[in-house]
Amino acid sequence: MNQNRRRPSRNSDRGGSRRGSYQGRGQQRNRNREDDEKIQRTIRNAQEMLQDSIHAVCLEELNAYERMRVHQFFDNKGDFETKTYRNGEEHLLWIFPVGKIREYVLEKAREAVKTGEEIELHPMSNYERFIVHDVLKDDESVETTSIGEGDERFVKIVPVRFGRKLRKMARKLKLF
């Protein structure tokens, strides 16, 4: 070994001090636990907000890993769906209570058929309106239409006097 070669000192400008930048296994585990605790807290808060609600919940300021974990948790449950939307540089995670929306829509459809009157639902996002139309598409006793623009767009449930099949036949025969 050449004795003229020296090892650089720890504080030299070539490598800098590693003091403080190294995370041992114990420190890394603690950080992971803290991240997991934050994710679990976020999931619990979202569950509390969604418990008896038909309104979607928006989670902001989550990093990609946290969004993925929340997606995994809620997508494994049949009554919820998650969607991520971009708003400029930030990502917004929306959690939709699909099961509660289905129950609500079916109840409103029964009410429309029973009373014979049109029912207007509250303003909804495009995905919530999609769920409403999807739930009632096979129900021949009601029709759904979206009305309005922007954030004020809502779904109207209209009871049908004649079923869709009968109406199609009448059009073919040109009765009405």
Q: Under CATH, domain 26-96 is a member of which superfamily?
A: R3H-like domain (3.30.1370.50)
Annotate 9-69 with DSSP letters as a single string: PTTSTTT---TTT---HHHHHHHHHHHHHHHHHHHHHHHHHHTT--S-EEE-S--HHHHHH
Give SS3 for 86.
strand
Give span(s): CATH 3.30.1370.50, the chain: 26-96, 99-173
* Yes or no: domain 99-173 corresponds to CATH 3.50.50.60: no
Structure tokens, 17: 């001090």
Q: Could you read off the pLDDT tens digit of each residue along the chain, which spans 176 residues?
A: 455 554 444 444 444 444 445 444 544 445 577 778 999 999 999 999 999 899 999 999 899 999 999 999 998 888 999 999 998 989 999 999 999 999 999 999 999 999 999 999 999 999 999 999 999 999 888 999 999 999 999 999 999 876 556 566 666 676 55
